[in-house]
Amino acid sequence: MLEIRGLHASVNGQEILKGVDLSVKAGEIHAIMGPNGSGKSTLAHVIAGRPGYQVTAGSVVYKGRDLLAMPPEERARQGVFLAFQYPVEIPGVSNVYFLKAALNAIRKHRGQSELDAMDFLSLVKEKAQLVDIDESLVKRPVNEGFSGGEKKRNEIFQMAILDPELAVLDETDSGLDIDALRVVAAGVNQLRDPGRAMVLVTHYQRLLDYVVPDFVHVLVEGRIVKSGDKELARDLEARGYEWLEAPAPAARS
């Protein structure tokens, strides 16, 4: 589904990603771990198409197409979703109605009929239960006045509504207490699907106790230096990242 080859990317002229290779198939969950500043969030943003991130070399192929050539809204319509590390507050824009507009843009693109208000609101009810988020909360302006945990839950709620094929979760676990983490993890697990791939970007192993990944990759200084299964996450928890920090030639998953 996703093939990343030799990806180099810069932000403000500073190279952050220095040759990332990653292959993700439908139904798989990949965890990307690494110390602060290793390039984890940059990778997530490059996949989603955030302006200001320059790809200087390499390729990202998604479902056989050049992902890097698409504007962010086109990527979303093709089924890419990014759960933000820091969800943005947007006063004056309704969370559910902007989602309805987004979902209908995606459905139109897929050749599906647009949902009317009734159908959409019953979908909202169903998915709000899935992530245990208050329905009145999701009807407020986008993230405005939400607590940190509510923002993260809203991201998972949006993911559940938009039903992506490739979901990238950027440190969705950071800043959550254990109860909120369980809720978010349960939501993610419910969305596990043979047709859906997920990439979990995380700093801690904690999330992986609840969402068990198929593959774990360690990103250090802009390269994937080690890949393995869920046991690798436990090693990292016990030993830290230091033993990996001399970047070896890029490893393949």
Residues that bind other proteins (CB under 8 A): 48-52, 71-73, 75-77, 81-82, 84, 87-88, 90-94, 97-106, 109, 114, 141-142, 158, 162
Shortest Å distance, C-beta 76 to other proteins: 4
Residue 61 CB, nearest distance to other proteins (Å)? 19
The least CB distance from residue 221 to other proteins, in Å, is: 26
Which of 84, 241 has the CB closer to other proteins?
84
Residue 5 tokens read as 């080859």
Nearer to other proteins, 23 or 94 (CB): 94
In this structure, the dihedral spanned by the alpha carbons of residues 190, 194, 195 and 199, taken in order and rounded to 10 degrees, is 70
CB 30 within 8 A of CB 199: yes
* Smallest distance from other proteins to CB 160, Å: 13
Residue 237's Cβ-count burial label (10 Å; 0-12, 13-18, 19+) is: middle
Q: Of 49 and 58, which CB lies nearer to other proteins in the complex structure?
A: 49
Distance CA 75, CA 62 (A): 9
Bridging pattern class, strands 53-62 and 2-11: antiparallel
Beta carbon nearer to other proteins, 158 or 202: 158
Structure tokens at 122: 């019953």
Residues 6+ apart with CB under 8 A from 122: none
Q: Shortest approach of other proteins to residue 98 CB, angstroms? A: 4
DSSP state, residue 67: G
H or E, element range at 117:
helix 117-130
Shortest gap between Cβ of 45 and other proteins (angstroms)? 9
Q: Could you please report the per-residue DSSP string of 29-64?
A: EEEEE--TTSSHHHHHHHHHT-TTEEEEEEEEEETT
